[in-house]
């Protein structure tokens, strides 16, 4: 495992198209070989999307740079900036259209439409993707939303390459606006990925956007309906600073959309200069004020 993971990076100068293309090609090759995207350690700043809640679970959006502290492999590292002003958001919706979703597509479409309805036309932007064993772009990023016919041709068929689709979609949207999220709507079944569950930690370290995984299911058992999502899907979401939520009915779809959109528009962007020691750098970001809880990605890699 090598090099800085695809954390959001904001250089002080613009990167040339050639340099960007080289980075993407290098990242793709590395991902295919080891599941870890390679990124040169000459970057000037690394930025991490973070959410803060109080002890009652309410989002907190009025903190300043001095209200945070960050530890990089246990060592306190100064922050160069903390940004929280309202700004446009980029959302990529990745819908599972494999055979295991047969009978669940109506709920999946309902969930996707609830998300899109909560975005701000003319400001936010959204793109639509589907996958079975192949990733398909249904609609590129746009600031105008038309959801009525977007999923009309989507049919559940074929095997499922869930891990592969998440990794590829993340690479495609890594250059979007600073507030961004990858929303995966799936039943959680993977039957055909080249990346195995053991690769989840590598995938998580290479993603540069929070990943929200909405797991579509149907059950009348209340104990199961209320149970949190567990396992590799939940781990992947947590390691990227996102979340995993179960969606079993219409109220669940609306609640998941509301939570996701609220978090997306209350993200902090915390910037710092990365370390130079090769290897994995574990990050701990926390608020100085007691009773506040921070959710952010767990680390980054340096070559």
pLDDT digits (tens, 9 = 90+) for 11-66: 332 323 333 333 333 333 333 343 333 334 345 788 888 999 999 999 999 999 99
Give, as one character, the DSSP assignment of residue 99.
Answer: G
pLDDT band at 209 (very low <50, low <70, confident <90, very high): confident
In whole angstroms, what is the distance from residue 283 CA to residue 74 CA?
Answer: 8
In whole angstroms, what is the distance from residue 145 CA to residue 120 CA?
Answer: 9
Residue 210 shares a structural domain with residue 284: no
Q: Confirm whether 69 is domain-assigned.
A: yes
Tokens of 108: 């999946």
Instruction: Mean pLDDT check: name the lowest of 48-62, 204-218, 242-256, 259-273.
Output: 204-218
Higher model confidence: residue 240 or residue 202? 240
Say if CB 45 and CB 11 are below 8 A apart.
yes
Instruction: Mean pLDDT check: name the lowest of 9-23, 78-92, 200-214.
Output: 9-23
Instruction: Mean pLDDT check: name the lowest of 144-153, 215-224, 228-237, 277-286.
Output: 215-224
Residue 274 shares a structural domain with residue 229: no
pTM: 0.80
Q: What pLDDT, on the 0 to 100 scale, is given for residue 185?
A: 95
Integer angstrom CA distances of residue 227 from 105, 148, 177, 223, 224: 22, 32, 33, 6, 5
Q: Confirm whether 2 is domain-assigned.
A: no
Sign of CA dihedral 114, 118, 120, 126: negative
Domain that holds residue 205: 89-264
Residue 55 shares a structural domain with residue 174: no
Total domains in the fold of the chain: 2
Residue 146 shares a structural domain with residue 51: no
Residue 286 shares a structural domain with residue 216: no
Q: Confirm whether 223 is domain-assigned.
A: yes
Alpha helices in the chain (DSSP H): 17-34, 105-117, 162-172, 200-206, 222-225, 232-239, 250-264
pLDDT in tens, 85-103: 878 889 999 999 999 998 8
Q: What pLDDT, on the 0 to 100 scale, is given for residue 238?
A: 87
Say if CB 187 and CB 102 are below 8 A apart.
no
């Amino acid at each position: 495992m090598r090099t800085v993971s695809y954390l959001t990076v904001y250089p002080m100068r613009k990167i040339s198209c050639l340099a960007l293309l080289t980075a993407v090609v290098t990242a793709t090759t590395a991902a295919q070989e080891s599941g870890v995207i390679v990124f040169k350690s000459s970057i000037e700043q690394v930025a991490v999307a973070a959410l803060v809640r109080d002890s009652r679970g309410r989002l907190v959006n009025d903190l300043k740079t001095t209200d945070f502290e960050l530890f990089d492999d246990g060592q306190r590292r100064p922050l160069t900036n903390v940004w929280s002003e309202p700004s446009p958001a980029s959302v990529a919706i990745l819908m599972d259209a494999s055979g295991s979703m047969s009978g669940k597509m109506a709920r999946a479409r309902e969930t996707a439409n609830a998300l899109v309805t909560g975005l701000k036309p003319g400001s936010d932007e959204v793109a639509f993707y589907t996958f079975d064993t192949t990733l398909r772009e249904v609609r590129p990023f746009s600031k105008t939303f038309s959801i009525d016919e977007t999923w009309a041709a989507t049919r559940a068929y074929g095997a499922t390459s869930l891990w592969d689709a998440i990794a590829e979609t993340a690479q495609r949207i890594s250059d979007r606006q600073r507030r961004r999220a990858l929303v995966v709507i799936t039943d959680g079944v993977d039957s055909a990925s080249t990346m195995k569950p053991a690769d989840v930690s590598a995938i998580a370290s290479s993603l540069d956007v929070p990943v929200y995984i909405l797991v579509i299911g149907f059950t009348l058992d209340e104990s199961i309906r209320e149970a949190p999502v567990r396992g590799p899907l939940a781990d992947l979401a947590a390691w990227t600073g996102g979340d995993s939520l179960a969606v079993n009915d219409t109220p669940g779809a609306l609640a998941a959309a509301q939570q996701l959109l609220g978090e997306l528009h209350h993200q902090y962007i915390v910037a710092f200069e990365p370390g130079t020691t090769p290897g994995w750098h574990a990050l701990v970001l926390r608020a100085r004020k007691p009773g506040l809880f921070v959710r952010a990605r767990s680390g980054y890699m340096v070559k």
